[in-house]
Amino acid sequence: MSGWNRSSRGARLGGGRNSSLPPGRTSTVRLGRVQPQAPGHRTIFCNDREANIPVRFSGNSISTTKYNFITFLPKGLFEQFRRVANLYFLTISILSTTPISPVHPVTNVVPLSLVLFVSLVKEAFEDWKRFQNDMTINNASVDVLQDQKWESIPWKKLQVGDIVRIKQNGYFPADLLFLAGTNPDGVCYIETANLDGETNLKIRKALEKTWDYSTPEKASEFKGEVQCEQPNNSLYTYTGNLIIDKQTLPLSPNQILLRGCSLRNTEYIFATVIFTGHETKVMMNAMNVPSKRSTLERKLDKLILALFAFLFTLCLIGAIGSGVFINHKYYYLGLWGKKSGDSAMAYSSFDPNNRFLVIILTMFTLITLYSTIIPISLYVSIEMIKFIQSTQYINNDLRMYHFESNTPALARTSNLNEELGQVEYIFSDKTGTLTRNLMEFFKCSIGGEVYGTGITEIERGIAERNGIKLVEGYNSGNAAHEKGFNFDDPKLMRGGWRNEPNPDLCKEFFRCLAICHTVLPEGEESPEKITYQAASPDESALVIAAKNFGFFFHRRTPTMIYVRESHTEKIGTVQGVSYEILNVLEFNSTRKRQSVVCRYTDGRLVLYCKGADNVIYERLADGQDDLKKVSREHLELFGSAGLRTLCLAYRDLSPDTYESWNEKFIQAKSSLRDREKKLDEVAEIIEKDLILIGCTAIEDKLQEGVPNCIETLSRAGIKIWVLTGDKMETAINIAYACNLINNEMKQFIISSETDVIREVEDRGDQVEIARVIKEQVKKDLNRCLEEAQNYLHSVSAPKLALVIDGKCLMYALDPSLRVTLLNLSLNCNSVVCCRVSPLQKAQVTSMVKKGAKKITLSIGDGANDVSMIQAAHVGVGISGQEGMQAVMASDFAIAQFRFLTDLLLVHGRWSYIRLCKVVTYFFYKNLTFTLTQFWFTFQTGFSGQRFYDDWFQSLYNVIFTALPVIIVGLFDKDVSAALSKKYPELYREGIRNAFFKWRVVAVWAFFSVYQSLIFYYFVTSSSDRGQNSSGKMFGLWDVSTMAFTCVVVTVNFRLLMVCNSITRWHYISVGGSLAAWFIFIFIYCIIDQKRNLYYVIYVLMSTFYFYLTLLLVPVFALFGDFVYQGIQRWFFPFDYQIIQEIHRHEPEGRSRDDLLEIGNQLTPAEARSFAIAQLPREVSKHTGFAFDSPGYESFFASQLGVHAPQKAWDVARRASMKRTAKKK
């Protein structure tokens, strides 16, 4: 919409003949004149504020607050009254101000006001923090060119088109177009940690036409026009053109510097502002993760609706009773007034002549009287409990603290704590989640020959399962081992490749590794001291491998790569070679490959390509059948050893072929519409007729503790699915290594790698291929489902496992086959999906979430896992090697997969049990209190007479019974953390939702009815003949005060009966609540203005009746609960109760490892480590390069993909903290 608004505004203000020109024509453009702003793109005049003023671009001041001074109250109240319970109490409060209300408005207004006050204070505090962060960043200074000199102004005063100077380590105040810098060839290095958590440096290159604008004098002469896309939230794309000196130059993400990023390794740069404020890409991405509500919350809504229905029933009974009770024979009560000529009494709530009106009015009266049945403070209490559970328990748990990376667990939301205790299905990525994502070059295949003698962890595991003892391979003595390289084979090391049958192909293999990448070298240009800034561990491992093979990549510019090649002419010689990089064809999740077109010094033009085997094989030239067959066997061999594979290929290009293709490439790069799609289409033209060189095999080892974690979670009844982009053999063997699959399992494998499907694929008819694969998948699914059902009906049924690849999964997810796939999958204990895309990961997760109605959890570490994480009920991000995209899209973040055990079996289970008790107890205590009022109605002619004083009713929920239930929600613990993990089967009670079923609610409701009858009839009957010290009978307020005292005492003691562990906080809260009641009643009985309760408590406490009743009533009321709990525990125990009995004589461990309490007692060193860990951190890795990682970003160009970044105020906080640290 903003684009259309600007368009119309520009059209009105532009004027002149040029205003009618189509956007595409630029030959008649006059700089400084305002052109119409088409909806599809915007025009920016550089270094010309006056020309940009009519368009009214957004200012650079940002605001991430939800409210301002004017909107806080109305908007905050609107947010609160979106909750049904709050809206209900607002209605009741309004009704209580009418004449039909039996209670004073204070009865409902006070608790509602307290709840709203607490909620609004919380909102105001959070918003104030956001406002402070906004002010910090808005007032940061930046140098702007004005009158040929630099003026320092606040960020908020920056305007579109301004030319700015950014110094080294400075942050970009807006989205900028890079013009010139101090580095040669118009290059600068940036760090995007504030956008995606990645600290590896990216390279940006200015257009050659603007390199000269590197001084204030030259920059002031710069007058250009930028035509670009409208602001959008795509971090990795940019489409536009720069029109300067009547030349149109295409712009790409190469020239764009995004707000929040910082300048590195460059003294300073000049740039012009293109997007400001809320139109910058980081701000347009500053949105919350999709809102998720827990299953318990949704069931709580149903319980509230049930309470509404029950409330309506009570009111209807009372209203009908009132209509029946009203009669002229009760004239002496004077309910409807005396007859007279005056018609003022025509309206009466007790007119026997209009019984229908009596029923209606009594209905409203009773609704206000019984309003306490809905627990108004429930939501606030639950929010408080969840918040403390998240911030003090999960975030501070030492068992989930990763020492090596100084990373604690992080609960990014507190809405889903209890959901962690009910998870039945876990969907996990493989790379970086189950494995370490620390890649090491391990083996390779060149020209049909396998090289590398090492044995992987997976191979050792396979051998152990088969009872084979492996002998370590021969160590050549030439083995080189450094981070990223773990290879040993004398046939290739130290120039040994020259003696191989195919030395020329080996040379092409090494050159492909050294040239086809986007790695940045840093440090001294020596093999021992150089470091590589790579976009992924895979990329780095391949370049390090080339270095160890004698092809040392040591320097790069935007157009050149410099390599020191050893042993090429003869053993021991080293020569420096430069390669001109002509084009880079980027990797993305669709292409699954990367290509580089380079020119040798002798003029030879070569395209080097590396990517997924299935993608490369489709593009190979004819006549390589033998090499393709042998290499495929090697790929399967590497995959079975758990290695990640890539294929390498090349193609020699003639100058004519290249020039013809390059023209199309330049046209595609200059396109303002569908640029990425057109670039992919142009790449397809040249990426064909490739010659296969060989393939690489990289090892990614399992994370520590993964097998034990998966075994424990399986025992807990949790089914684990692995969704990966890796080859089927690799995925299966990883599944074996981490105990997901074993030899005792019956495996169902549905693969597209069958003879039938290959034969059809060779014919190339796409329609026929789709038909055959779908039929084959349907047949396999039905066969497997039939077998699975037969196994399940057998006596000794083995566990089942399903393995399916992405191509088959695409057809299996078709609506006609989805139900069959779901039924088969749900019958399996483990499922492995291979070669799947990010979209398929999300589709599989949604299939189980919506189709099976099961609680799901997705866990991953990369950008390709974001959609899966957001699709599940609970999303967990691994803060590992692939940046922070997964973490920023997640609900919880942990550093290692093994921490899932503590997150689910300890914190999740405890949170679920605690919150179930909180909700059911709230339901019980409010129902009990309201029913005593209901029984009183039967003795008052259904008139709506109140039993309790207004203030009793007001403070019952918010003072007298509020704190103990919060303490239970925080501290109740059935078994210790150690026992929770020792007996993971306890977790199954959460999966079955054993503690929040309607049966459980019915039991609590039964005892509410029982206890309310005891309270009312015991107290009223025993007081019939009771007398105070002066000989007077007890009145209404004496009886109601006695009954209310019994209610408060009983419901507080009832809470202690349901606690599994009682701490000093339980005693303090219960004792404090009872003390609060007595202190209140002592004071209130003195200051009561109505004289209803004047000195009532003092009169009561002067009688023996008070103490006897206070002793007997709670005992009789709780006796039924005591008997029920005893029978239940002895004859129908829960699982945790059995464990309690087994370990009842064992003292609970008091070591730090066994404690989870607020304010863990840490040593100074630990405290400092945690304090540092809580600060904004930078994770110095990027998404993996291998074909299952679509979030890969190049240094020269970027791909499509929108990921959830950190919120803008987090960016501001980190930026401000860095500046503060620097000043010190």
Q: Please list the active-site residues.
A: 429
> In sequence order, what are the residues at sequence separation of 6 or more whose Cβ sits closer than 8 angstroms to the Cβ of residue 862?
429, 431, 432, 882, 883, 885, 886, 1183, 1184, 1189, 1191
User: How many whole angstroms separate alpha carbon 395 and alpha carbon 1159?
Assistant: 11
* Lookup result for tokens 């000049």: 270
Least Cα distance to 172 among 236, 286, 254, 263 occurs for 263
Q: Quick check: 64 and 1207 in contact, CB under 8 A?
A: yes
Give me the amino acid identity at 812. A
> In sequence order, what are the residues at sequence separation of 6 or more whose Cβ sits closer than 8 angstroms to the Cβ of residue 653?
597, 605, 606, 607, 686
> In sequence order, what are the residues at sequence separation of 6 or more whose Cβ sits closer than 8 angstroms to the Cβ of residue 1053?
1070, 1114, 1118
- CA angle at residue 891 from 887 to 893, to 5 degrees? 45
Maximal C-alpha separation, the chain: 128
Least Cα distance to 956 among 1077, 1121, 1125, 793 occurs for 1077
Kindly list the strands in the beta sheet with 262-264, ordered across the sheet, starting from the edge strand earlier in the chain.
198-205, 187-192, 262-264
User: How many whole angstroms separate alpha carbon 867 and alpha carbon 1044?
Assistant: 53
Q: Quick check: 458 and 736 in contact, CB under 8 A?
A: yes
User: How many whole angstroms separate alpha carbon 1198 and alpha carbon 675?
Assistant: 11
Angle, in degrees to the nearest 10, between helices 909-937 and 378-388: 160
* Lookup result for tokens 């409210």: 67
3-state secondary structure of 872: coil
What one-character-per-residue DSSP string does 691-758 give? EEEEEEEEEEEEPTTHHHHHHHHHHTT-EEEEE-SS-HHHHHHHHHHTTSS-TTSEEEEE-S-SHHHH
Strands 425-428, 856-860: pairing is: parallel
Tokens of 826: 């749900």
Tokens of 418: 């209890």
What are φ and ψ of residue 365, in 5° steps?
Answer: -60, -45
User: How many whole angstroms separate alpha carbon 92 and alpha carbon 828?
Assistant: 52
Least Cα distance to 506 among 570, 574, 594, 568 occurs for 568
Q: How many CB atoms lie within 10 A of CB 1110?
A: 17
Least Cα distance to 698 among 456, 467, 411 occurs for 456
What are φ and ψ of residue 672, in 5° steps?
Answer: -90, -15
Counting runs of H as helices and runs of E as strands, what totals does the chain give?
Answer: 42, 35
* Lookup result for tokens 């029950």: 310
Q: How many CB atoms lie within 10 A of CB 790?
A: 10
